Structure 1
Amino acid sequence: MRALYHLILLFSISFVTFAQKKTVTPPPVDPLSGFDSFVNQMLIDWHVPGASVAIVKDGKLLYAKGYGFRDVKKNLPVTEKTLFGIASCTKSFTSAALAILADEGKLDWNKPIKEYLPDFQLQDEFATRTIAARDLVSHRTGLARHDLTWLYANLGRQSLYQRLKYLPLSKPLYAQYQYNNLMFMTAGVLIERISGKSWEDFLREKILQPLNMNQTVLTYPELFQKEDYALSYRDHNGQWVEQGFGSNVDAIGPAGSIKSNAVEMANWLIMQLNKGKFGEKQIVSAANLKENHTPQIVVYPAEAPFSELGYAAYGMGWSINTYRGYQRLAHNGSIEGYRSQMAFFPNENIGIVILTNTGAADYYFVNSVCNYFSDKWLNLPVIDWVPRLKIAQGEAKAKQEKAKQDNASKRKTDTTPSHSTDSYAGTFEHPAYGSFVLEPKSDGTYVGAFHGLPFTLAHYHYDIFEGTGVFDQTKFDFKIGTTGEINRVILTLGNAGEIEFKKAVK
Structure 2
Amino acid sequence: MGVIEHGEVVYRRGVGELVAGSGEPVTPETLFKIASNSKSMTTALLARLVDAGKLRWDDPVTKHLPQFRMYDDWVTREMQVRDLLIHDSGLRAGAGDLMLWPEPNSFSRADVIHGLRYLKPVHSFRSRYDYDNLMYIVAGEVAAAAGGAPYEILLQREVFEPLGLQRCRIGEWNRDSVGNVAQPHRREGDRNLPVREDGAVVANTTMAAAGGVRCSLDDMLTWVRTWLRPDNAAAPWLSAEQRRALWSAQMSMPVSQRQRDWDGSHYSAYGYGWRLADVDGTFKVSHTGTLMGMYSVVTMLPERDVGFVVLINGEAEEARTVLNQVLVKRYSAPAQRRDVAYYAQALERERAATPPAQRAPDTSARKPATTDAMRPWLGRYGDPWFGEVSLCAQGARVRFVSRKSPMLSGTVQRVDARWLVDWDDVSVDAEAWLDFGAAPDTGTMKMAKVDPEADFSYDYEDLAFVRVGGCD
TM-score of the superposition, structure 1-length normalised? 0.79
Equivalence map 1:127-146=2 (5 Å): 127-144=75-92, 145=94, 146=96
8 Å CA contact 1:480–1:488 kept in 2: the answer is no
Give 1:41's aligned residue: none
Q: 1:386 aligns with which of 327, 338, 341?
A: 341
Q: Secondary structure at the match of 2:154?
A: helix
What is the alpha-carbon root mean square deviation over aligned residues? 3.0
**Residues 502 and 369 (structure 1), Cα distance of their counterparts in 2 relative to 1, 3 Å cut:** same
Task: Flag the 1:436–1:225 CA change in 2: closer, same or farther, 3 A.
Answer: farther
Bigger Rg, which one: 1
Where do 1:100-499 residues align within 5 Å?
Answer: 100-144=48-92, 145=94, 146-151=96-101, 152=103, 153-219=105-171, 221-223=173-175, 225-245=177-197, 250-275=205-230, 277=231, 282-300=236-254, 302-303=256-257, 304=259, 306-310=261-265, 311-359=267-315, 361-362=316-317, 364-378=318-332, 380-381=334-335, 382-393=337-348, 395-396=350-351, 399=354, 403=358, 421-440=374-393, 446-450=398-402, 451-453=405-407, 454-459=409-414, 465-469=419-423, 470=428, 472-479=430-437, 485-492=441-448, 495=456, 496=459, 497-499=461-463
- Residue 505 of structure 1 aligns with which residue? 469
Distance 1:278 1:69 in 2: 39
Listed one character per residue, the Cα deviations across residues 79-129 of structure 1 (whole Å, up to 9, x for unaligned) are 111110000000000011111111111211112211221111111212111
Query: Which secondary structure state, in structure 1, belongs to the residue aligned with residue 334 of structure 2?
Result: coil
- Separation in 1, partners of 2:150, 2:272: 21
Measured in 1, the distance between the counterparts of 2:59 and 2:229 equals 28
SS in 2 for 1:129: helix
Alpha-carbon distance between aligned partners in 2 of 1:379 and 1:143, rounded to the nearest angstrom: 37
- Distance of aligned partners of 1:137 and 1:505 in 2 relative to their CA distance in 1, 3 Å threshold: same
**Helix, strand or coil: the match of 2:307?**
strand
1:94 equivalent to 2:50? Answer no
**Partner SS for 2:304:** coil
Identity of counterpart residues, as a percentage? 22
Report the CA distance shift for 1:309/1:135 in structure 2 as closer, same or farther (over 3 A).
farther
Contact 2:255–2:268, Cα closer than 8 Å, also in 1 = no
Aligned-pair CA distance for 1:269: 1.0
Tell me the residue number matched to 1:60.
8
Instruction: Give the whole-Å Cα distance in 2 for the aligned partners of 1:374 and 1:314.
Output: 19
**Structure 1 residues 197 and 397, CA, compared in 2 at 3 Å: closer, same or farther?**
farther
Distance verdict in 2 for CA 1:272–1:168, change over 3 Å:
same
Return closer, same or farther for 1:116/1:405 CA change in 2, 3 Å cut-off.
Answer: closer
Question: Which residues of structure 1 form unaligned runs of 5+?
Answer: 1-52
Q: CA deviation at 1:57?
A: 2.5
Once residues 163 and 148 of structure 1 are traced to their aligned partners in structure 2, the CA distance between those partners, rounded to angstroms, is 11
Alpha-carbon distance between aligned partners in 2 of 1:405 and 1:352, rounded to the nearest angstrom:
34
Aligned length: 441
Aligned-partner Cα distance in 1 for 2:23–2:133: 34
Instruction: Name the SS of the counterpart of 2:224 in structure 1.
Output: helix
C-alpha separation between the residues in 2 aligned to 1:218 and 1:338?
A: 16
Query: SS state of the match for residue 420, structure 2?
Result: strand
Instruction: Check whether the contact 1:320–1:327 (CA below 8 A) recurs between aligned residues.
Output: yes
Would the alpha carbon gap of residues 133 and 405 (structure 1) be closer, same or farther in structure 2, given more than 3 Å must change?
A: closer
Unaligned runs of 5+ in 2: none
Q: Write the distance in 1 (CA, Å) between the matches of 2:356 and 2:379.
A: 33
Deviation of the 1:402 alpha carbon:
5.7
Asked whether the equivalents of residues 86 and 250 of structure 2 are also in contact (C-alpha less than 8 Å), the reply is: yes
* Compared CA separation, residues 248 and 473, structure 1 to 2 (3 A): farther
> Which residue does the alignment assign to 1:24?
none
Q: Assess if the C-alpha contact under 8 Å between 1:338 and 1:358 holds in 2.
A: yes
Q: SS at the partner of 1:251? A: coil
Counterpart of 1:42? none
Does structure 2 retain, via aligned residues, the 8 Å contact 1:245–1:336? no
Between 494-503 and 202-211, the greater mean CA deviation after superposition: 494-503
